[in-house]
Homo-oligomer: A and B are copies of this chain.
Amino acid sequence: MDSVVLIADLAHAARTAARSLSTATGSQRKAALEAIATALIERSNEILAANELDMASARSENMHPQMQDRLLLTTSRVEGMADGARQVAALEDPLGRTLKESTLPNGLHLRQISVPFGVIGMVYEARPNVTVDAAVILLMSGNAALLRGSSTARHSNEVLVKVMKDALATTGISPEVIQLVPSDDRSTVKALLTARGKVDLVIPRGSAQLIRMVVDEATVPTIETGAGVCHVFVDEFADINKALPILLNSKTHRPSVCNAAETLLVHKAIAPTFLPLALKALHDAGVVIHGDSTAQKVAEKFGVPSTLATEENWCTEYGILEMNVAVVDSVDAAADHIAKYGTNHTEAIVTENQGSADRFIALADCAAVMVNASTRFTDGEQMGFGAEIGISNQKLHARGPMGLEAMTTATWIVTGNGQIRS
């Protein structure tokens, strides 16, 4: 079938079914998620058997071991998905919240409430757990889900969607609120991204390449999730006893994720004391250093190997134990560097001076500013959201970690007793 027609059909079925969500109570949506969690556990053998088909293909195609690990489901990973569904079910209902309320002089009562988007598309890569993680967040926030995973996870995704749909069939929620978009052909992605008016929002999760493709091709509104070139700025008024652990944690705790730091900026006034300690500590932790000329000189003096950082270095999200180091003249100069090379994700300042912190906050232009804390805290779970569908790297609608609330929009309910405009 033509992909455009296919997506239109799936979206129509999803939107019709979504009424069973938008008219369901919070308790009914919670019960649906509990049913999904139970079914995942009960049918884990079936899920693992389907996953083994995907794994066999992956092995025969010599898929990269790291990618194979992402594709793999185990008993504990299935339990993890079920736990995730239960955790989302336990969160506060994001729908029907009163966002604003007022009464106008003409007697009209205005109330803005949170409501579902309607139909949300997810485009993602190898990990089959995203199929469940995304579906339960979308369902709890009242949205139907169009799930377009990777063809490499096809059998896993098919059985996961079947298990979830079967579970919904035992509840008051229509199983059609979850639709698996066929992954055998790239044309279904293109059709999903251009189904404007039929799909309310598309969220990509995966590589920079995937996200760039979504941004370039979509006419449906999208939320860009993605790259983090995060900086740690050690101000002249920094407490070195805080700065050093924050630096090391930001870079080395989990270098592969988007909230890991890639660049250290050091105020020139504190560089003579802090830089030797920082460079040695990074080196001892196995971090390869790319420095500006000042940092290189200090590194050389203290026997730490380094290369001269290039324009490309400053822009790179390493994902591994490499780090850029520069000395800057001021808070504003740090902000200039960040404006030039950052990705508006997370920027940290270490300082005991509130004026420096305030100036940094005003200039940093990012989803989260960390003042005396590790960049690694930009995370839905860490920030107490309870669940995260991704970290928004754009400024429209949601910025930073997105939980249930980010998957809702708003409606104005204007109640009168016959008011007309004169």
Contacts and interface: CB of A to CB of B under 8 A. Distances in A.
Contacts of A420: 245-246, 248-249, 253, 373-374, 376
Interface of A: 15, 19, 22-23, 102, 104, 108, 110, 115, 117-118, 196, 200-201, 215-216, 219, 221, 223, 239, 241-242, 245-246, 248-249, 253, 339, 357, 359, 361-374, 376-378, 382-384, 394-397, 399-400, 409-421
A395 B245 contact: no
Given A219-B216, A397-B397, A420-B246, A411 B371 contact: no
B395 A201 contact: yes
Nearest to A366: B411
Contacts of A221: 221, 394-396
Contacts of A201: 395-396
Contacts of A378: 412, 414
Contact of A412 (B239, B248, B383, B396): B383
Instruction: List the 8 shortest-distance A-B pairs measured between CB atoms, nearest first.
Output: A373-B416, A249-B420, A242-B418, A397-B397, A395-B409, A368-B412, A221-B396, A376-B421
How many copies make up the complex? 2
18 contacts: A19-B362, A118-B365, A118-B395, A200-B395, A201-B395, A245-B418, A248-B420, A249-B421, A368-B413, A368-B414, A369-B413, A370-B416, A373-B414, A373-B418, A373-B419, A377-B414, A396-B396, A400-B410
A339 B242 contact: no
A369 B414 contact: yes
A23 B249 CA distance: 31
A371 B415 contact: yes
A403 B221 CA distance: 21
A241 B416 CA distance: 13
A281 to B, nearest CB: 13
Nearest to A113: B361
